[in-house]
Structure 1
Amino acid sequence: MQVDDDSVGAVLNRLRRAQGQLAGVIAMIEAGRECKDIVTQLAAVSRALDRAGFKIVASGMRQCMAVADAGAPPMSEAELERLFLALA
């Protein structure tokens, strides 16, 4: 499965944002910030990573459907289910 070109940019932006947020969390811990603030930022990092993963899976599903329409073997339902569960 490959990610389409349009989705690659969006995924990379989300991953870079998550990378910056994670660096911020590390700095917060090193600075001794409040637990509530750290957990809030960790949740934001987690959501950013989840959204990047969902974008990749959605792109893969679109590609899989297009390939199936072209006569190539599609990704099985079990494979798609495993991808979704990996993000859950």
Structure 2
Amino acid sequence: MTRMTRQGVRHTGVEGRLKRIEGQIRGIARMVEERRYCIEILQQLTAARRALDGVTLQVMKGHINGCVSEAVRKGEGPEKVEELMETLNRFVK
């Protein structure tokens, strides 16, 4: 599904990907309840984290292509670029 945020950025497939990740997390919780082998749990946690990173990058790309590009066209680029840099800094930590 393609949705438009209030700024008009497309988030194609984000909701579906998040629902799949939600299912992964529920599965991991079951694994913990069942006292499954730690390595199996860690593997699933790693997969879930990678999936979240993928969604994060997808949303960032939409933000850059939409909000940041629009701000640059309107002459408001420096503020949006600074906001983006702060967000990227948090993401990579």
TM-score range, shorter chain: 0.7 to 0.9
Matched, 1:85 2:83: no
Alignment of 1:2-81 (within 5 A): 2=7, 4-5=9-10, 7=11, 9-63=12-66, 64-69=68-73, 71-74=74-77, 75-81=79-85
Name the one with the larger helix percent.
1
Gaps of 5+ in 2: 1-5
Kindly indicate whether the alpha-carbon contact (under 8 Å) linking 1:3 and 1:60 is maintained by their aligned counterparts in 2: no
Higher relative contact order, chain-length normalized (CA < 8 Å, sep 6+): 1
What is the TM-score of this pair, normalised by structure 1? 0.81
Cα offset, 1:46, TM superposition: 0.8
Normalising by structure 2, what TM-score?
0.77
Report the residue type matching 1:33 in the other structure: R
Distance 1:58 1:82 in 2: 15
Indicate the larger mover: 77-86 or 14-23.
77-86
The alpha-carbon deviation at position 10 of structure 1 amounts to: 1.6
- Percent sequence identity over matched residues? 26
Q: Could you tell me whether the CA contact under 8 Å between 1:17 and 1:48 is conserved in 2? A: no
* Runs of 5+ unmatched residues, structure 1: none
